[in-house]
Amino acid sequence: MQVEKKLEESKILIIDDDLALGMTLEEILRENDYHRVRYISDSREAEKVFVEFHPDLVMLDIHMPHLDGFAVIERLKNLNGRSFVPVLMMTAEADEDACVKALSIGATDFLSKPVRVTEVLARIRNLLRVRHLQADLESKNDFLEDKVKDRTGQLRHSILELDRMHAEVKQAYIETIYRLTRATEYKDGETAEHVKRLSFYAAEIGRALGMSETDVELLLYASPMHDIGKIGIPDNILFKKEKLTPEEWEVMKTHPLIGYEILKDSNAPVLKMGSIIALYHHERWDGSGYPQGLKGAAIPIEARILSLVDVYDALRSKRHYKDSFDHDTACRIMLEGDGRVKPDHFDPHLLEIFRSISGQLAKIYDDNRS
């Protein structure tokens, strides 16, 4: 009942130069218990209204005079701060390039015109659920520990629901999944950048390895889900600054299996790959990893790639227990070892690819850090 009340009280901003469609959407939403709706037809007013209205969801047309949807998204991103406000893009054209561009600059979902009432309502409800889950994470430091079973169920339900609803809109589906994975680590701004960099690193390694573009794309979008299982780890362990006790470390080591359990039942290729990466990305080539202690080629190639780039980015990044290393130092540690990190942890072939394209990975790091 509380969740439903939150959804009904949500603020929805519609930006579309088509007066007939805008007014129709406004009426439909009000008839379905969304009473806090604002519609504007002039995209130049978007920033002002966004600041005044504080919407929980923005419905935005792509093709408009003055400022198109792409320009509006760029302007609104600067107003969001840390809060996540989903953007549902609308267009009359089945333009895959426009879809990809919109999603890449911050749109959350995509809707083709002419719109269908049932689809509009379903997607709005789903995005608002994500929005309010995110708001809860921002306001409650103990949210993950106290509500993990409930939120894990909701997250899994949302993923399966998105799988059914978004079969024909692949890019929108992928972006929504990416937003959901960020919820597990939203308290740490650096970690959000870390997830983005891992995707780019993994895709670069996949191309150098000779993967098809289809598999590279899957790897790009599945990689952010590698640590989704951390949603099941209590806050007092997940964010502990001191060294974990042996008992706490055993709890932490359960996050690969939790991530696998969340993702495993979907038929979507990206989620199937995500479940494999989540389960095996802490396995090591020499068999010293977890949770199953797999060795060598028994570890799926996608997980081997994530294992390598995850360590590289961790070395490059500042943590509460360590300073950041520059690129050359991180490469030396990866290739020669430092006691804790050993070359034997990684697939030798992937390590050679890493050596040959390390400059490209350095650029990815520099281009995607706060």
Among 109, 139, 169, which residue terminates a domain?
A: 139
- pLDDT tens digit sequence for 240-285: 888 899 999 999 999 999 999 988 888 888 889 999 999 999 999 9
Among 115, 139, 163, which residue terminates a domain?
A: 139
- Taking the CA of residue 292 as centre, how many other CA atoms within 13 Å lie in the half-sphere pointing to its CB? 16
- For residue 118, is pLDDT > 80? yes
Q: Which one, of 111, 86, 85, lies nearest residue 98 by Cα? A: 111
The Cα 274–Cα 271 span in angstroms is 5
CATH of the domain at 12: 3.40.50.2300
Given a contact cutoff of 8 angstroms between Cβ atoms, the answer to whether 84 and 185 are in contact is no
Same domain, 210 and 229: yes
The Cα 245–Cα 302 span in angstroms is 30
Same domain, 310 and 191: yes
Domain that holds residue 224: 142-370
Which residues does 82 contact at the CB level (< 8 Å), separation at least 6? 138, 186, 189
Same domain, 184 and 88: no
Q: Residues of 276-303 as b/e, b for ≥16 C-beta within 10 angstroms?
A: bbbbbbbbbbeeebbeeebeeeebbbbb
- pLDDT tens digit sequence for 174-233: 555 665 666 555 544 446 678 889 999 999 999 999 999 999 999 998 998 888 888 888
The Cα 19–Cα 25 span in angstroms is 10
The encoded tokens of residue 117 equal 């009432």
- For residue 43, is pLDDT > 80? yes
Same domain, 105 and 223: no
Same domain, 103 and 160: no
Same domain, 38 and 185: no
Same domain, 105 and 150: no
Same domain, 131 and 170: no
Same domain, 235 and 292: yes
Same domain, 36 and 161: no
Given a contact cutoff of 8 angstroms between Cβ atoms, the answer to whether 105 and 70 are in contact is yes
Which residues does 44 contact at the CB level (< 8 Å), separation at least 6? 66, 67
- For residue 138, is pLDDT > 80? no
Per-residue pLDDT band for 321 (boundaries 50, 70, 90) equals low
pLDDT in the model for residue 100:
80
Q: Which of 230, 241, 264, 322 is catalytic?
A: 230
Question: Of all helices (H) and strands (E), which one includes residue 308?
Answer: helix 301-316
**What is the reported pTM?**
0.54
Number of domains the chain contains: 2
Q: Which one, of 75, 95, 96, lies nearest residue 87 by Cα? A: 75
CATH of the domain at 264: 1.10.3210.10
- pLDDT tens digit sequence for 90-100: 887 656 777 78
Which residues does 138 contact at the CB level (< 8 Å), separation at least 6? 82, 83, 186
Mean pLDDT of the chain: 84
The Cα 15–Cα 208 span in angstroms is 42
Same domain, 364 and 340: yes
Same domain, 324 and 350: yes
- Taking the CA of residue 101 as centre, how many other CA atoms within 13 Å lie in the half-sphere pointing to its CB? 13
Active site residue 147: no
Among 139, 159, 179, which residue terminates a domain?
A: 139
- pLDDT tens digit sequence for 252-262: 999 999 999 98
The Cα 85–Cα 74 span in angstroms is 13
